[in-house]
Amino acid sequence: MNRSSVLFRRHPDLRDTTLPEGPEIRRAADELAAAIAGRQAIKIFFAFDNLKPYASRLQGATVCQVTARGKAILTRFSSGLTLYTHNQLYGRWLITADSEYPDSSRQLRLAIHTGEHAALLYSASDISILNNAELRQHPYLSHLGPDLLDPGVDAGQLAARLNEMQYRRRCLMGLLQDQRVLAGMGNYLCCEALHVAGIHPQRRPADLSSTQLLQLTGSCLQLARQSYETGGITNDLERATILRQQGAPFEACRFHIYRRAGLPCYRCGTDIIKDRFCGRMGYLCLTCQQQ
């Protein structure tokens, strides 16, 4: 872990308002794995009636593995079943000491107790228990595109994908956030990657040169991986470190343009604007990202 990640690392909590994207989900999976993988689930709670019968089937099983796939988390049990959870907009995982429940108005949807820790999922509604055949055929998992945090994925491969006939005439603001195209990309990563690559959010892969397309997919990969390693920072790390040392709050240091409407672009000084692009809210520097 480098100096910056120590400086910025923070624990997710129930007040965090940034919607989770690939890096946040991967970190949540890492933290869940550190707390409960290799441990026996001595008590399991499900809030939804359709899942309650599984509690007794999973209690006593060992948690084998916790992994992220796109924006979903898979928790595999030694009984052969896998818990699938997708946080969507509001879901949050929290890890506590086993008997500790936080004071929260959010609704607890599931809890896995190991005796030492409890893994608690709040507010999520997309939760299911799957056997191996169901896992392979799952409608979300089976259609996921290449994962930005998969070390085997490279910029050339992603550029070729964006250039495929079914994708190349779609607006980048929507295309990059389609999990069937690229897994793990959400709104903040999309705005930041387009800005770093100097590309307007309404452009399409078909409008770009091969160099621009490679710059864009390289930025997508680099920013997703940096965000994963640093606890959510896509800004230039040196700049973010200086801002943090000057006393700026974490949220004010994280991004190049995201949530910086009305503030000057770090690169050119033009005011950042917030607007709707291809139906999605986003941020833009009109000087650095010309249409």
Return residues touching Zn ion (CB under 5 A): 265, 267-268, 270, 285, 287-288
Cβ pair 63, 36 in contact under 8 A: yes
Catalytic residue among 26, 27, 69, 71: 71
Q: Which helix (H) or strand (E) holds 3?
A: helix 3-8
Q: How far is the CB of 289 from Zn ion (least distance, A)?
A: 7
Taking the C-alpha atoms of residue 58 and residue 96, their distance in angstroms, rounded to an integer, is 20
Q: How far is the CB of 98 from Zn ion (least distance, A)?
A: 50
Q: Checking DSSP bridges between strand 126-130 and strand 82-86, what pairing results, if any?
A: antiparallel
Q: How far is the CB of 25 from Zn ion (least distance, A)?
A: 30
Catalytic residue among 20, 23, 201, 205: 20
Helices (H), 40-154: 52-58, 132-136
Among residues 220 and 285, whose Cβ is nearest to Zn ion? 285
Q: Which helix (H) or strand (E) holds 113?
A: strand 108-113
Contact residues for 245 (Cβ-Cβ < 8 A; gap 6+)? none
Helices (H), 132-272: 132-136, 155-162, 172-175, 187-197, 210-230, 237-245, 250-253
Place of tokens 């499900």: 46
Annotation marks residue 280 as catalytic = yes
Among residues 27 and 256, whose Cβ is nearest to Zn ion? 256
Among residues 168 and 267, whose Cβ is nearest to Zn ion? 267
Catalytic residue among 12, 21, 23, 26: 21
Taking the C-alpha atoms of residue 55 and residue 204, their distance in angstroms, rounded to an integer, is 47
Q: How far is the CB of 170 from Zn ion (least distance, A)?
A: 25
Cα-based distances in Å from 174 to 14, 160, 161, 189: 28, 17, 15, 12
Cβ pair 289, 195 in contact under 8 A: yes
Among residues 40 and 270, whose Cβ is nearest to Zn ion? 270
Q: How far is the CB of 287 from Zn ion (least distance, A)?
A: 5
Q: Give backbone dihedrals phi and psi of 93, rounded to 5 degrees, phi first.
A: -90, 145
Among residues 125 and 270, whose Cβ is nearest to Zn ion? 270
Q: How far is the CB of 275 from Zn ion (least distance, A)?
A: 15
Catalytic residue among 39, 204, 274, 280: 280
Cβ pair 152, 77 in contact under 8 A: no
Annotation marks residue 21 as catalytic = yes
Q: Give backbone dihedrals phi and psi of 94, rounded to 5 degrees, phi first.
A: -140, 140
Annotation marks residue 20 as catalytic = yes
Which residues are marked as active site?
A: 20-21, 71, 280
